[in-house]
């Protein structure tokens, strides 16, 4: 977009690495001003520099997504500074994996708070400026674990499954205001999180996947970019599994 006053503003949480970084880079490449959000500014500054080195536009906001007031303050600051907020990508998330008999209340609550409640708070806060602009794109990053479950991830699967229902409800509530809400549900993607998996598990994943490989972050970023686009104006309440066909029925 050559007219900077009409440049869409996108907020991406968990933008310092992995999927969030790839999503931020892709949205910036498509002409959005991207607000990079995470707890630590150091890695965000590196992503910002990468975006600016290719002619893109970005800024940095530190935020603890486990703190509702911090999220609301961040969203408010973005609107104050830019006068608009068009795209929200809730990507920040954590895992606290263990079998259910060993899972503590604290491990369950922590994952629900970061993965689900933070997205709810961000969506609630972002809906107001989006309604004022009569245009909005909410993209929540789910997981195939929320579709089919996964041993040792009762808390994580619960948070991602609940995210689907929340997003569909948002789509129905906000659709009349020109705001769409969708979910991208990644399968096994090559990131720092999956790098630590034993080789046997990685090979097992490839065996279960029709494409016989793990995904890469750019493939998730491309799916998010579609939902964030002008052309996705008639697509809402949808869940797109980007998983190499692992969960197809």
Active site residues: 156
Q: Which of 212, 120, 214 is nearest to 173 (CA)?
A: 120
Q: 36 with 60: CB under 8 angstroms?
A: yes
Angle at 224 between CA 220 and CA 226, to 5 degrees: 120
Q: What are phi and psi of 16, to 5 degrees?
A: -85, -15
Q: 51 with 58: CB under 8 angstroms?
A: yes
Q: 43 with 215: CB under 8 angstroms?
A: no
């Amino acid at each position: 977009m050559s007219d900077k006053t009409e440049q869409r503003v996108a907020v991406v949480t968990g933008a310092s690495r992995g999927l969030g970084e790839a999503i931020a880079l892709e949205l910036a490449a498509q002409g959005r001003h991207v607000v990079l959000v995470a707890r630590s500014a150091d890695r965000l500054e590196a992503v910002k520099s990468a975006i600016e080195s290719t002619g893109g536009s970005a800024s940095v906001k530190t935020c603890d997504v486990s703190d509702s007031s911090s999220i609301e303050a961040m969203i408010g600051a973005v609107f104050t500074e830019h006068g608009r907020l068009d795209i929200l990508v809730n990507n920040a998330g954590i895992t606290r994996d263990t079998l259910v008999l060993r899972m503590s209340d604290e491990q369950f609550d922590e994952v629900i708070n970061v993965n689900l409640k933070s997205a709810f708070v961000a969506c609630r806060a972002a809906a107001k400026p989006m309604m004022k602009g009569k245009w909005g794109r909410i993209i929540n990053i789910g997981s195939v674990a929320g579709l089919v479950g996964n041993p040792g991830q009762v808390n994580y699967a619960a948070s991602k499954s609940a995210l689907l229902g929340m997003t569909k409800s948002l789509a129905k509530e906000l659709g009349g205001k020109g705001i769409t809400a969708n979910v991208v549900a990644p399968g096994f993607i090559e990131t720092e999180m999956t790098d630590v998996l034993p080789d046997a598990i990685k090979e097992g994943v490839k065996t279960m996947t029709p494409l016989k490989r793990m995904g890469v972050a750019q493939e998730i970023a491309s799916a998010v970019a579609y939902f964030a686009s002008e052309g996705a104006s008639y697509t809402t309440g949808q869940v797109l599994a980007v998983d190499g066909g692992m969960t197809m029925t």
